[in-house]
Amino acid sequence: MKSESVRPTVPKCTFCENPAIVYRKEVNHHLCKTHFIADVELRVISNIEKKTLISDGDRIAIALSGGKDSTALLLLLYRLLPCWNDVHLIAITIDEGIAGYRVETIRSAQRLAHQFDIEHRIISFDDIYGNTLDSLLRGKESQACSICGILRKKALDKGARDVGATKLATGHNLDDEAQSALMNVLRDDLPRLVRNSSTMKSPYFIPRIKPLSDLSEKDIATYLLIQDAWTDLPECPYTHNALRREVRSMLSDLEYRYPGTMLRIMDSKRKIEHYLSGIEITEPLRHCKECGDPSSGEVCQVCLIKRSFSH
């Protein structure tokens, strides 16, 4: 690496004289700690308002894994509560039963719920499916994320229904959303690409909202770190097996070289949703013939997974 004779310099905040801690390339803003926090909170409230994600009187179940995204979600929604009348938060944690990973994050979730004095429910795969994810996945580790995703979704829906929630909030960030959109394209899965779970008008599902979907993973980590809310937790051991890992790495590289890539992917997804609005591209919902839950096929995905386990 080559030496240069430039003196050390600290960039200043675009909006004040304080030193910048973040440079947002996509808008060409340097932000100090105070202005970065304000910027993050403004982007979240704008996202919520733009998509009407929260209404007065909502009872919001927060999917609180205890990891960084759900921690930020809890922190932000708690702070923004005064924006609405009579909105109530409840935390739901799913214990999939992943050795060496989930115990620590559950402890973190419990600490948070206690700190903010929020009702907290923990639901385990063992209770619902009779076994831990680790046991269920033996020999199927390469499908870990898709199997876990389906089982978690049902567990969260059950938890949200049990507490009488009107909305289920998850901590999905911009990186997650852009990765999912691209993965759905790679899998040629148009129904999933255009599915918008926050506006689903089905009596079977509690609308899922993603208030952090305009924030990058780095925004969220920075937001937590500068407020001493960052806990260095392990990553899920199964992420190494997923297609998502490759898509994440590719998108992250593209986002660095072409800032705004992820936002443009989400804009394209919204345009496709708009062009296809009113066109029925999914099977109408019916009841699973095995468990009775809503399903797009004769048998729901959870029951299909259970069948594969029994084989």
Partner 1 sequence: MKVVLPDKNIKTIDFTSVSIEQILLDLGINPLEVIVSRNGTLVSEDMIVGNDDEIQIIRIAHGG
Query: Of the two residues 253 and 283, which places its CB atom closer to partner 1 in the complex?
Result: 253
Applying CB under 8 A, the residues found at the interface with partner 1 are: 1, 3-11, 19-23, 30, 33, 65-71, 105, 171, 216-218, 221-222, 225-226, 232-236, 239, 248, 252-253, 255-256
Query: Of the two residues 23 and 275, which places its CB atom closer to partner 1 in the complex?
Result: 23
Where does 51-124 have alpha helices with state H?
A: 68-80, 102-115
User: Residue 126 CB: number of other CB atoms within 10 A?
Assistant: 15
Query: Of the two residues 6 and 279, which places its CB atom closer to partner 1 in the complex?
Result: 6
The structure tokens 């429910």 sit at 121
The structure tokens 């890992």 sit at 245
Dist CA 173 CA 220 (whole Å):
8
Query: Of the two residues 156 and 236, which places its CB atom closer to partner 1 in the complex?
Result: 236
What residues have CB less than 8 Å from 255, skipping those under 6 apart? 216, 261, 262
- Strand pairing class (167-169; 208-209): parallel
In angstroms, give the least distance from the CB of 189 to partner 1.
22
The structure tokens 């594969």 sit at 308
Dist CA 300 CA 288 (whole Å):
5
Query: Of the two residues 33 and 140, which places its CB atom closer to partner 1 in the complex?
Result: 33
In angstroms, give the least distance from the CB of 71 to partner 1.
7
The structure tokens 């959109």 sit at 181
In angstroms, give the least distance from the CB of 49 to partner 1.
25
Q: 118, 79 in Cβ contact below 8 A?
A: no
Query: Of the two residues 124 and 216, which places its CB atom closer to partner 1 in the complex?
Result: 216
The encoded tokens of residue 223 equal 């937001």
Dist CA 93 CA 263 (whole Å):
29
In angstroms, give the least distance from the CB of 121 to partner 1.
18
CA distances from 200 to 18, 194, 297 (A): 44, 12, 18
In angstroms, give the least distance from the CB of 216 to partner 1.
7
In angstroms, give the least distance from the CB of 193 to partner 1.
22
In angstroms, give the least distance from the CB of 306 to partner 1.
25
Query: Of the two residues 53 and 72, which places its CB atom closer to partner 1 in the complex?
Result: 72
